[in-house]
Structure 1
Amino acid sequence: MGLIIDVPTNLGLRPPTPGCVPGADKAPQALRAAGLHVALREQGWIESSPILAGRYCPEISPGQVRNQAAIIEHARRLAFRITQALGRGEKPLVLGGDCSTLLGVGLGLAERGRYGLIHLDGHTDFRHPGNASQPANLAGEDLACAVGLHYPELSHIDGLGPYFEPRDVVHAGCRDGDAHLDEARRRLDAVISASQWMAYPRSTLADIVDRTAHDGLDGFWVHVDVDVLDPDHMPAVDSPDPGGISPALLSEALAALWPRAVGMTVGILDPDLDPAGQYAVQVATIILEAVTTDSEQAAEPI
Structure 2
Amino acid sequence: MKKDISIFEFPFNLGLTKKEHEIEPGVKKLPDWLRKFGFHKEINPKNIFRLEAPEYAMDFDKETGVKNPYQIIEYAKKQSGLILKNFNIDTFHLILGGDCSILIGSALAFRQLGNFGLFYLDGHTDYIPPKLSPSGGVAGMDLAIVSGLGHQKLTNIDDLKPYFREEHIFCVGNAETDDDEYVGEILNSKIHYFDLENLRKNGFRKTAEDFLGMVDEKNLNGFFIHFDVDVLKDEIMPAVDSRMEDGIDYENLKEMLNPLIADERCFGLEITILDPDYDTEGLYTQPFIENLIQIINQPTKKI
Query: TM-score by structure 1 length?
Result: 0.91
Query: Which deviates more, 177-186 or 266-275?
Result: 177-186
**Structure 2: runs of 5 or more not aligned:** none
Residue of structure 2 aligned with 1:286, choices 288, 291, 303: 291
**Which position in structure 2 is the counterpart of 1:183?**
185
1:194 aligns with 2:196: yes
**Which position in structure 2 is the counterpart of 1:69?**
70
**Which position in structure 2 is the counterpart of 1:120?**
121
Residue of structure 2 aligned with 1:273, choices 272, 278, 284: 278
Q: CA deviation at 1:134?
A: 6.9
**Which position in structure 2 is the counterpart of 1:9?**
12
Q: 2:76 is aligned with what amino acid? A: A
Q: How far does the alpha carbon of each residue in 1:238-289 deviate from its partner, in whole angstroms, 9 at most, with x for none?
A: 0011221112111221211112211110110000000111222233223211
Distance 1:80 1:279, change over 3 A: same
Query: Which deviates more, 22-31 or 12-21?
Result: 12-21
- Distance in structure 2 (CA, Å) of the matches to 1:157 and 1:256: 32
Distance 1:135 1:238, change over 3 A: closer
Q: CA deviation at 1:89?
A: 3.9
Q: 1:288 is aligned with what amino acid? A: I
Distance 1:150 1:46, change over 3 A: same
1:252 aligns with 2:255: yes
**Structure 1: runs of 5 or more not aligned:** none
Q: CA deviation at 1:226?
A: 0.2
1:203 aligns with 2:209: no
Q: 1:80 is aligned with what amino acid? A: G
The number of residue pairs the alignment matches comes to: 294
Q: 1:186 is aligned with what amino acid? A: N
Query: Which deviates more, 11-20 or 66-75?
Result: 11-20
Q: How far does the alpha carbon of each residue in 1:144-197 deviate from its partner, in whole angstroms, 9 at most, with x for none?
A: 000011111111101111100001000000013355323213313311111222
**Which position in structure 1 is the counterpart of 2:172?**
172
Residue of structure 1 aligned with 2:36, choices 25, 30, 33: 33
1:215 aligns with 2:218: yes
**Which position in structure 2 is the counterpart of 1:50?**
50
The answer to which structure has the higher strand fraction is 2
Give the conservation status (yes or no) of the 8 Å contact 1:170–1:188: no
Distance 1:133 1:10, change over 3 A: closer
- Distance in structure 1 (CA, Å) of the matches to 2:110 and 2:165: 12
SS at the partner of 1:53?
coil
Query: Which deviates more, 78-87 or 2-11?
Result: 78-87
